[in-house]
Amino acid sequence: MRWNAYLIPTDASFMNFKLVTEYPPAFIIFCLLAGAAYAVALYYREKQFTDTPLWIRRLMAALRFVSVTCIAFLLLNPLLKTTFREVEKPVIVLAQDNSESIVIGKDSAFYRTEYKKNLAKLEDALSAKFDVRLYTFGESVKEIAGTDVAADKINYKEKETDLSSLFDEMETRYSNRNLGAIIIASDGIYNQGANPVFSTSRLKAPFFTIALGDTTIKRDLIISKVIHNRLAYLGNKFPAEVVIDAKRCKGTSSVLTITKGENTLFTQKINIPSDAYNITIPVQLDAKEPGMQHYRARLSAVEGELSTVNNVQDFFVEIMDSREKVLILADAPHPDVAALKQAIENNQNYEVDAYPLKDFDKKIAGYNLIILDQLPSMNQTSKVINDIISSDVPVLFLVGSQTNIRNFNALQLGLQINGQGQRFNEPQPVLEDHFPLFTLSEAARQYIPKLPALACPFGSYKASTSCFPLFYQEIGIVKTKDPLFLFNQIGNKKVGIIAGEGIWRWRLQDFEDHNTQDIFNELIDKTVQYLSVKLDKSQFRIVCKNNFPETQPVEMEAEVYNESYELINDPEVNLEIENAEGHKYPFTFTKTGNAYRLNAGMFPPGEYKFKAHTRIGDKVMNQNGTFSISPLVLEAINTTADHQLLYNLARKHNGEMVYPSQMEELANKILTREDIRPIVYNPKKLLDLIELKWIFFILLLLLSAEWMMRKRNGGY
């Protein structure tokens, strides 16, 4: 059973109603009969209404008839079927490159003024027929509304250009939408993300490109990059390489200088023999001051140069005030000591001192790790060993033929060797597959079973449950659970034990098999690194990177611990950032879970200090640090527009490339294209009629009107 109704059509949509029910149309007769039966029973020859005027009785009967009929009809569960006709205009995306490279050339005044007016006219012309969406792109993609807003938002201040992110955003926003066309106004230069030609395959709309910028190669000197170490150590020299590109500068010369503050550290004259010239200048700089150091590489300008912005590049190096210091003490000269010393010194982060025990007279507090080769020994005892054991300085023990096993066991290091130390086995190492303290490379893991055997004291070995064996002993073909190389932690003190001598053979075997000592060096480096890293037991920590690019916000994390060394975040954590001029910026960390987080926003390039403080009970705790902001000059490195890329994009997607002077023609081309059409949708919806509130109120009104008339005329 159906009844149809229509709304008056508009330009965009109209609505069609159909009333349907699952019962046959004949059931409407029963609804009418029910309404008539109620009306007759209540008002036909009813004695209490004999004095009531006839028209009032008929009106009350009609009200009862209509209300009962409607209620009965609702019991048939009628449904209201609505069909909408919606017309969706094609969406035209107008994406404007907002990066610095647009205004580096000679036409910068045009792009800041007249071009913006032409862009607004293009948007107005297309808006008559299409739904135009305006975006800017560079570091990120941003949508802006209206030409008045566009004048402020298009400022050409973005430090990077990522065209592929624009296409990813378009796919996300307009997937399954009527995307009519994408217009890209750009110089074709991109320095972030993937090649845009290969990032558009999922977008099926035609592409139109507006070719901005100048493809003419202009005279320009560019510092493309400065390659340097992130860390250097105080008192050392560290290398840097300055990569220079010269375009159309044949026959000219420039001077490269590297400065730190007001001090000139390096100068070199560069003669340019050709129009397309590239050179890398090696530099050695002295690390004279600890902390984050700011250096600047600069090229003197040549006459007629397009831009001098790309003649300068800043870089930052953190100068560490000391290396990790390792002490090796031995009972007597031994090739194991030399092998260890050479392997450790292979890592420039470590400085090694090696002494016979009898000649050592320095303080042990200045060392980060102490290695004892065959100590305590049979030949001598020393107060130094007792001082080492009682300190918190980590220790690596090498057990050998001169080790006093009884005194070694008395140190309670986690390994007990029950034997006299006068007989020896020669086991090979077997790697513990689930060793948790550090990770060895796959090459090292595969090679360890091939290492030569060590000379280990004969006896039974018992390791405490707190120990972590790295290697077990394999004697002949028998793989035992006797540890060969293990680690333990006693309170705050880390301990490592190599239960045999002869590791110098490992180094020689590695060189014989691979012509390097990389695997042996890796094993010793991982061991020293684990043992020498100090446990940070401070109750207040600030985690912050040393350097941020100027396009990223400064983000930090903080941790606060109570006396039981449990993470808490009850107290407030405040921080103050100070720039080189002394201006201070206060912040408060946001609480997250059991820790803290701060997004301080973006800062201009330079060096900054910060001071953080919090209160734990009655104690005020402080943390200080530094960070630097590096400037980005990516947009100034390449200043030659890439119109070929824009042409390829348009051709690949059935579009066309135009120049700024042809923007009016571009509007006409898009307006007259037959493949950019509106899409008509006819969505349908079923709704239970009984759920419509207005029907309830109509029935309530009918019944209330009847009841009032009955009461007024003497009814009940």
Task: Write out pLDDT tens, residues 413-438.
Answer: 999 998 765 788 899 999 998 888 88
Could you give the CA distance from residue 557 to residue 576 in angstroms, rounded to a whole number? 14
Q: Contact at 8 Å (CB) between 199 and 657? A: no
Q: Is 324-532 in CATH node 3.40.50.880?
A: yes
Q: Is the pLDDT of residue 36 over 60?
A: yes
Closest by Cα among 228, 215, 220, 214 to 277: 220
Phi-psi region of 518 (alpha: psi -120 to 50; beta: other; left: phi over 0): alpha
pLDDT category at 195 given cuts 50, 70, 90 is: confident
Alpha-helical regions (H) of 44-131: 54-74, 108-112, 114-127
Could you give the CA distance from residue 318 to residue 470 in angstroms, rounded to a whole number? 34
Portion of the chain with pLDDT greater than 90, in percent: 35
Q: What is the pLDDT of residue 4?
A: 47
Q: What is the pLDDT of residue 420?
A: 62
pLDDT category at 10 given cuts 50, 70, 90 is: very low
Average pLDDT over residues 372-385: 80
Q: What is the pLDDT of residue 686?
A: 76
- In sequence order, the 6+-apart residues with CB closer than 8 A to the CB of 152 are none
DSSP state of 437: S
Out of 76-90, 278-292, 465-479, pick the least confident.
Answer: 76-90
Out of 124-133, 138-147, 331-340, pick the least confident.
Answer: 138-147
Q: Is the pLDDT of residue 12 over 50?
A: no
Q: Is the pLDDT of residue 9 over 50?
A: no
Look at residue 333 and give its three-state secondary structure. coil
Q: What is the pLDDT of residue 45?
A: 63
Q: What is the pLDDT of residue 15?
A: 59
Q: What is the pLDDT of residue 464?
A: 92
Closest by Cα among 284, 254, 293, 282 to 270: 254
- In sequence order, the 6+-apart residues with CB closer than 8 A to the CB of 64 are 35, 38, 39, 42, 43, 706
Token pair of 434 as six digits:
């689930």
Average pLDDT over residues 592-607: 89
Out of 234-243, 379-388, 479-488, 524-533, pick the least confident.
Answer: 379-388
CA distances from 697 to 82, 485, 694, 705 (A): 22, 87, 5, 12
- pLDDT tens, residue by residue, 547-557: 888 888 999 99
Q: Is the pLDDT of residue 365 over 50?
A: yes
- In sequence order, the 6+-apart residues with CB closer than 8 A to the CB of 286 are 236, 237, 265
The better pLDDT of the pair 488, 199 is held by: 488
Q: What is the pLDDT of residue 149?
A: 46
Q: Is the pLDDT of residue 624 over 60?
A: yes
Enumerate the domain spans of the chain.
Answer: 2-85+686-712, 90-216+640-666, 220-320, 324-532, 540-629
Strand pairing class (131-137; 91-97): parallel
Could you give the CA distance from residue 413 to residue 399 in angstroms, rounded to a whole number? 12
Out of 650-654, 668-672, 710-714, pick the least confident.
Answer: 710-714
Look at residue 16 and give its three-state secondary structure. strand
The better pLDDT of the pair 684, 107 is held by: 107
**CATH superfamily of the 90-216+640-666 domain:** von Willebrand factor, type A domain (3.40.50.410)
Out of 250-254, 321-325, 453-457, 522-526, pick the least confident.
Answer: 321-325
Average pLDDT over residues 290-313: 86
Q: What is the pLDDT of residue 322?
A: 64
Q: Contact at 8 Å (CB) between 376 and 407? A: yes
The better pLDDT of the pair 564, 574 is held by: 574
DSSP state of 11: S
State the CATH architecture for 220-320.
Sandwich (2.60)
Q: What is the pLDDT of residue 135?
A: 93
E strands, 123-252, are: 131-137, 141-144, 179-186, 207-211, 220-228, 231-233, 237-247
Mark 328-348 as b/e (b = at least 16 C-beta within 10 Å): bbbbeebebbebbbbbbeeee
Average pLDDT over residues 642-648: 92
Sign of CA dihedral 167, 172, 176, 179: negative
Amino acid at 321: D
Q: How far is CA 103 from the centre of its chain?
A: 30
E strands, 274-333, are: 276-286, 291-299, 312-320, 324-330
Look at residue 31 and give its three-state secondary structure. helix
Average pLDDT, the chain: 86
CA distances from 439 to 473, 495, 525, 528 (A): 20, 18, 11, 13
In CATH, which of 2.60.40.1220, 3.40.50.300, 3.40.50.1970, 3.40.50.11610 is domain 540-629?
2.60.40.1220
CA distances from 709 to 56, 58, 698, 699 (A): 8, 11, 17, 16
Could you give the CA distance from residue 533 to residue 507 in angstroms, rounded to a whole number? 24
Q: Which residues pair with 496 in a beta bridge?
A: 396, 487
Q: Contact at 8 Å (CB) between 376 and 403? A: yes
DSSP state of 176: T
Q: How far is CA 691 from the centre of its chain?
A: 49
Average pLDDT over residues 439-450: 90
Q: What is the pLDDT of residue 461?
A: 92
Out of 69-83, 139-153, 574-588, 601-615, pick the least confident.
Answer: 139-153
